[in-house]
Amino acid sequence: MSLQDPEFENFKKAYQEGNFNYALHSLKKLLVTYPNSFALRWHHAKVLEKLERFTEARVAVGKVLKLRSDFVPALIMQVQLDFHQGSDESDDLDEFDEEPVLSEHARFNLIEQRLYKILSIDPNAVDALHMLSGLLRGHEGDAHVVKANQLLNRAISLAPERVDLLEDRGNSLLGSAIVQDGDTTNSINIVSTFSGMRYKRDQMELALSDFHTCYQITSEHRFGLRVASILHDLGRFNEALAAYDKVLANVSADDPYRSIIIERRARSENNGGGEREQMAQLLESAIADSGKDRSLEEDNVAQALLSAANAVRSGKSVSDALDERLSDDPDDNMATNIAAQILNVANEPPPNLVAVDPKDFPSYQQKFIARCKRDLEAQGLQHVADAEAEGMRMMLGSRVLLSFYADAEGEMGVAAFCMKPKKPNPLAILFLLMTGKWKLVGTLFKVNTLVECVSQFSNGDYLNTQYFSVSPFEYGPPIYIEKLSPKVSIAGLVARHQERLEDHKLAHPSIVTMQALDLAGMEERWVNGQAVKRAYRQSIGYITEPELKQLLGAYYDKFADKVRAKLKVLAADL
């Protein structure tokens, strides 16, 4: 072939400009004149590969190898094209000779043979070392993995700045770092993450080194993020934050990916506490919030997930938190739920009261609140607000309308609300009927109402007057709760609390009564009351033996030990 052929100049110009379609057009003309030119045949194969016409390129590279069977670049291209077999079925075939279709197993065996042939010709063929390493890694058996690692390490020693090689080794190291069941690894070398994953520290640090090199060479954000993520999993949270900040410094403020990076960075904040919070929120997000009240079964699962979320926030892994709370044993799940409910009495979330329109709530709640409003205003109390405790909605599993009132000085607050109990499934109702406990069925659907008067004092004393309830929980100083018969009118309830309030002030002339005349004041009084109750429940171990007996009733012998054991486990996570 004459290098002075003007068509060859056309080809060179088109190839250099990236106009591969025109370059192919020129090559076709040249091959008519110079059909046995090795250089033209090689250019032909390369152009077809650039155009991603892989089927034709495979045929073209075969013609190159007929001219020079030991030409390593063509042998490597042949293997690379073998990986693309079947991905390009262009209708516009160029010099297409149909090849026999091989099974995938046979095809990969052929590829492996070709790679070994390349390395027998050139032991330093980096691409061949790389591809054979990847192929062997797919085989079963430790020996293949060891050989694959040796090949990849050799390729990197020959091309230490090939980012694709370093990335592959980093990914391989991360995969091998995962501790599998049955692995015998020194516990000092184990890193446990909040998500429950366990890694070999030495493998993680080797992967970190490779991804750090990739980042230094390319400055690509994805490598910087891999570095930060590995540092986080290694528990090196301050270094992880610095790595995230380095990436963010090169991401514009309007880049949509920036918010995702910031969210990932948040995991490493507070010495890794950010990830705990994200994991806890993920568990809480699994609790359906359809706007409808939860059933009893849904509530049992919800309470377990809420308790698990709190455990994760305290530092427990997600897997451990869930394993301790969700079981295949129904009795175990019931004991967990009872223990969680006991702890909920002492650990209510802040109410986060927000003003609401009663019309947005169920009619039975509206009617009860309207009746209370008439009775309470008749006693000279002023209506403060109708509200919802948004902070407690997830725990309650339903929306509850609250109505708040106060006396003229704000020393006495009154809260009124009602809610329906969780409905058991039809099988539970049928069981009660068949076992002769039909009288209990009606109580399952009875609306629970509450009207209570509250006052608090500067010394921490908490005064509460309410109607009798079936709650087994009792309190002692500084909490003073008096329960009246349901037959007592609201006027009688208010009068009794006012009497108790005056008596308490006379008995303790130096203390100041807390005043609340708006919704913010009601929120503050509620939160203060929660703190006092929490301290009291903690002081008695959350539940006394008489309370537990009353709570469990006939099931005391069956569940008492299980509930105590669960209570100990769950309380440790608060």
- Phi first, then psi, for residue 102 (nearest 5°) are -100, 150
Beta bridge partner(s), residue 416: 403, 451
Cα 421 from Cα 295, distance rounded (Å): 9
pTM for the full model?
Answer: 0.61
Q: What's the confidence (pLDDT) of residue 438?
A: 41
Residue 294: per-residue pLDDT: 66
Residues (pLDDT < 70) of the chain are 1-4, 85-102, 182, 184-186, 288-297, 421-446
Are the C-beta atoms of residues 542 and 563 closer than 8 Å to each other?
no
Q: Which of 194, 243, 201 is nearest to 223 (CA)?
A: 243
**CA neighbor of 214 nearest in space, from 177, 155, 157, 164:** 164
DSSP label of 512 = -
SS3 of 449, please? strand
d(CA 372, CA 416): 7
pLDDT tens track for 224-275? 999 999 999 999 999 999 999 999 999 999 999 999 999 999 999 999 889 8
Of 457, 451, 365, 359, which is closest to residue 405 (Cα–Cα)?
A: 451
Determine the pLDDT at residue 223: 97
**How far apart, in whole angstroms, are the C-alpha atoms of residue 530 and residue 547?**
19
For residues 233 and 522, give the distance between their C-alpha atoms in angstroms, rounded to a whole number: 44
Measured distance CA(108)–CA(135) in Å, rounded: 8
- AA letter at 532: V
Note if the bond before 358 is cis, omega within 30 degrees: no
Strand partners, 462: 456, 479
DSSP H or E segment with residue 467: strand 462-467
Could you tell me which residues come within 8 angstroms of residue 180 by beta carbon, excluding any fewer than 6 positions away?
none
Q: Which two tokens stand for residue 136?
A: 């062997």
Cβ neighbours for 400, distance < 8 A, ≥ 6 positions apart: 361, 365, 388, 389, 392, 393, 417, 419
Distance CA 104, CA 173 (A): 27
Alpha carbons 414 and 206: distance in angstroms, whole number = 64
In angstroms, the CA 554 to CA 448 distance is: 23
Helix (H) or strand (E) holding 464: strand 462-467
> Can you give the pLDDT at residue 85?
65
Residue 275 has what pLDDT? Answer: 87
Give, to the nearest 10 degrees, the angle between helix 142-158 and helix 163-177: 150
